[in-house]
Homo-oligomer: A and B are copies of this chain.
């Protein structure tokens, strides 16, 4: 295995000393980059995920173009339910759709236990190829969805702003929900372990829909399954990041569940979360992604606010509070990276 030339991100995940704050950007391999759109012209989204050469190409793009301190493998959390047997359609207009959403206990029998080495080989191949092409330049992050978030997609089937199907499901069929969450947790754990085996240096669990739950439902339907995934993970010292979108408490519980890093959305104050969580976990985030629509001066002001809020010392990985938006000018992202690289030094003296 190649030694990393830039391991700032990994050191920050472990709350070790760094000369400056590392930065990467969620969805950094994405539509805002003209170089990405050029690849995307050749193939649809899922084909890109399933073609290791294309996935590796777009994964590496932002490392060179934007200057981030980590790459994240180009893929999608929904490849796991697809591997479990669900029919997935990816439409750019409507969002992802499962043609056969799960609604009843009897629907669960269509789901199979996955063997990632076989069923998701294309992701592992993309990881191996990316690691080779990165040549130790920066670490590579793997990822998967939280069981709760994947179940939400699998039960809803398509977009639904009230999340009525998933809520009916957990309230009226809680036993079935727990069975399904267990199955998904096993699959995700197997998948992330295989990603680590294939070479990723860290993994991120996306709990994108955790925030639609009340605090007590979160404690019942999301948190324990994140804990299951993490504790079943086969890893050496690869850190686990949990992106807790829309969650405004439970941060300490996420750290107790085994998250080494908690990734925050832009609505919480990162400094206040740091005070609560103490030395239990590193924090990632949390600039409002829409700030990248602003002029350079405003971008700098807002980036400085995030760094100042976190304050001095280790354990901060700069990121946005959600994925970068497709119509952001790439030069704004590049400027943000420069600002963080330069202005964060004083917090690490």
Contact = CB atoms under 8 A, between A and B. Distances in A.
A305 interface: yes
B295 A172 contact: yes
Interface string A204-246: 0000000111111100000000000000000000000000001
Contact of A249 (B212, B215, B269, B288): B269
A171 B325 contact: no
A176 to B, nearest CB: 14
B171 A291 contact: yes
This chain: copies in complex? 2
A325 B164 contact: yes
Interface string A300-328: 00000100000000000000010001010
A212 to B, nearest CB: 8
Contact of A246 (B164, B168, B267): B267
A35 interface: no
B246 A167 contact: no
B290 A327 contact: no
A162 interface: yes
Contacts of A291: 167, 171
A249 B269 CA distance: 9
A90 interface: no
Contacts of A167: 288, 290-291, 293
Contacts of A335: none
Contacts of A249: 248, 268-269, 272
Contacts of A171: 290-291, 293-295, 298
A305 B272 contact: no
A72 to B, nearest CB: 20
Contacts of A327: 164
Nearest to A248: B248
B293 A172 contact: yes
Contacts of A168: 290, 293-294
Contact of A290 (B164, B269, B298): B164
A24 interface: no
A170 to B, nearest CB: 9
Nearest to A169: B293
Interface of A: 162-164, 167-168, 171-172, 211-217, 246, 248-249, 266-269, 272, 288-291, 293-295, 298, 305, 321, 325, 327
6 contacts: A162-B290, A163-B290, A168-B294, A171-B298, A213-B288, A215-B267
Given A217-B288, A249-B268, 20 more contacts: A162-B289, A162-B290, A163-B290, A167-B288, A167-B290, A168-B294, A171-B291, A171-B294, A171-B298, A172-B294, A172-B295, A172-B298, A214-B266, A214-B288, A214-B321, A246-B267, A248-B248, A248-B267, A248-B268, A249-B269
